[in-house]
Copies of this chain bind each other. A is one copy, B any other.
């Protein structure tokens, strides 16, 4: 006798995972696997050196629950250098990556079974699982599918008395889009107004694992600079290429109204889910490397090759300003049908249905350049088959 919801979440694999696991059954020299966001770039040398050196040292004991003071100070220094919002160590909780951070936030804000979390589609498929996992409801407003900015009427229509937070992800997985300053300004106005009308604060949970993966000097506005009640969830998975090691944080700026109560509920939520502290060795590494910049040149080269080639063939692509995903319009009426056809050729791309919108395909280009080169004739062929 087990929880039927948990059993269902355990049995129903995401389409991404299914494709990835299918890919593992194919000849590794032939498969063209664009399914997962597993960074292809090595971690920065400074990160590898820190892990190797610290591994031998006395950094394996419990830290205080939110993380060592040293690492929280390093995170604050970094955050205070890149945006206008101001952070103190008391506003930081180190976490086992961004997934943990998101779950901790949602559980802290889940009042009862009417609590609602909102997102903008396309969104990272696990948001719904995280929201329902803490007993809350989940709904998503489809983005403007030309600009991938917020469709404000669609979003406003979903906000109700039980709306606790809007989860945003910019740069976005899967579209690669960055929410612009004008979008954020308008969003802040909407949320301020609706919060006042509802008599409670609607938070933004800003899921920012791709914050440093931004191309062509694109402006990357920080959501917390535009809306005070923002809870930042960050992961070093993508920027430091160590997604398996699980290290990230929750950051709440000094401008949040009820910071004390919010931090207490976040601490309690982490505690009640067994998140004793973020891995100490990884905390010690971040304390030393918080300002290390990722080398995203190979992602940029991959993006340029893929985008240029697919557009030349006639694919309609969303211009990715950040992250390492190319989102293309499905040339077939069903994205799933295109993905299935591509699969027959060993080309693995994810239909957008799992991200809450129809008609697109996600191509994770954090892969070896040769994989992209091998895939181009297949993309060409698939377009002609249509």
Residues from chain B with Cβ under 8 Å of A1 in the complex:
109, 111, 164, 200-201
> Min CB distance, A259 to chain B, in Å?
11
Contact assessment for B265 and A109 in the assembled complex, using a CB-CB cutoff below 8 Å? no
Contact assessment for A246 and B276 in the assembled complex, using a CB-CB cutoff below 8 Å? yes
Instruction: Scan A245-268; emit 1 where CB is below 8 A from any B CB, else 0.
Output: 110000000000010011111111
Contact assessment for B264 and A11 in the assembled complex, using a CB-CB cutoff below 8 Å? yes
> Min CB distance, A341 to chain B, in Å?
27
Contact of A52 among B52, B61, B108, B271 (CB under 8 A): B52
Contact assessment for B274 and A244 in the assembled complex, using a CB-CB cutoff below 8 Å? no
Residues from chain B with Cβ under 8 Å of A52 in the complex:
52-53, 55-56
Contact A10 to B264, CB < 8 A, known contacts A53-B52, A55-B51, A279-B282: yes
Contact assessment for B96 and A275 in the assembled complex, using a CB-CB cutoff below 8 Å? yes
> Min CB distance, A148 to chain B, in Å?
26
The segment out of A98-106, A152-160, A180-188, A370-378 that lies at the interface is: A98-106
The segment out of A127-135, A137-145, A296-304 that lies at the interface is: A127-135
Contact of A271 among B10, B109, B201, B266 (CB under 8 A): B10
Distance between Cα atoms of A244 and B283 in the complex (Å)? 10
> Min CB distance, A32 to chain B, in Å?
18
> Min CB distance, A204 to chain B, in Å?
15
Contact assessment for B108 and A268 in the assembled complex, using a CB-CB cutoff below 8 Å? no
Contact of A243 among B61, B104, B134, B246 (CB under 8 A): B61
Contact assessment for A96 and B271 in the assembled complex, using a CB-CB cutoff below 8 Å? no
Contact assessment for A242 and B60 in the assembled complex, using a CB-CB cutoff below 8 Å? yes
Distance between Cα atoms of A56 and B48 in the complex (Å)? 5
Residues from chain B with Cβ under 8 Å of A30 in the complex:
none
Residues from chain B with Cβ under 8 Å of A272 in the complex:
5-6, 9, 103, 129-130, 132-134
Contact assessment for B61 and A130 in the assembled complex, using a CB-CB cutoff below 8 Å? no
Contact assessment for B11 and A60 in the assembled complex, using a CB-CB cutoff below 8 Å? no
> Min CB distance, A185 to chain B, in Å?
25
Contact assessment for A246 and B96 in the assembled complex, using a CB-CB cutoff below 8 Å? yes
Contact assessment for B38 and A61 in the assembled complex, using a CB-CB cutoff below 8 Å? yes
Interface positions, chain A 58-91, Cβ under 8 Å from B, are 58-64
Most buried by B among A39, A108, A258: A108
Contact A7 to B268, CB < 8 A, known contacts A53-B52, A62-B243: yes
Contact assessment for A274 and B100 in the assembled complex, using a CB-CB cutoff below 8 Å? yes
Contact assessment for A243 and B60 in the assembled complex, using a CB-CB cutoff below 8 Å? yes
> Min CB distance, A5 to chain B, in Å?
7
> Min CB distance, A8 to chain B, in Å?
7
Asked if A211 is at the interface (CB within 8 A of a chain B CB), the reply is no
> Min CB distance, A137 to chain B, in Å?
14
Asked if A2 is at the interface (CB within 8 A of a chain B CB), the reply is yes
Asked if A230 is at the interface (CB within 8 A of a chain B CB), the reply is no
Contact A265 to B7, CB < 8 A, known contacts A132-B272, A201-B1: yes
Distance between Cα atoms of A385 and B273 in the complex (Å)? 43
> Min CB distance, A357 to chain B, in Å?
22
> Min CB distance, A43 to chain B, in Å?
6
Residues from chain B with Cβ under 8 Å of A281 in the complex:
51, 242, 244-245, 281-282
- Apart from A6-B265, A11-B264, A103-B272, list 14 A-B contacts with CB within 8 A: A3-B265, A3-B268, A5-B272, A6-B268, A42-B58, A43-B60, A49-B56, A52-B53, A52-B56, A61-B243, A96-B279, A244-B277, A244-B279, A246-B276
Question: Can you report 10 residue pairs joining A to B where beta carbons are below 8 Å apart?
Answer: A6-B107, A38-B62, A49-B56, A60-B242, A61-B244, A129-B271, A130-B272, A133-B272, A279-B279, A281-B281
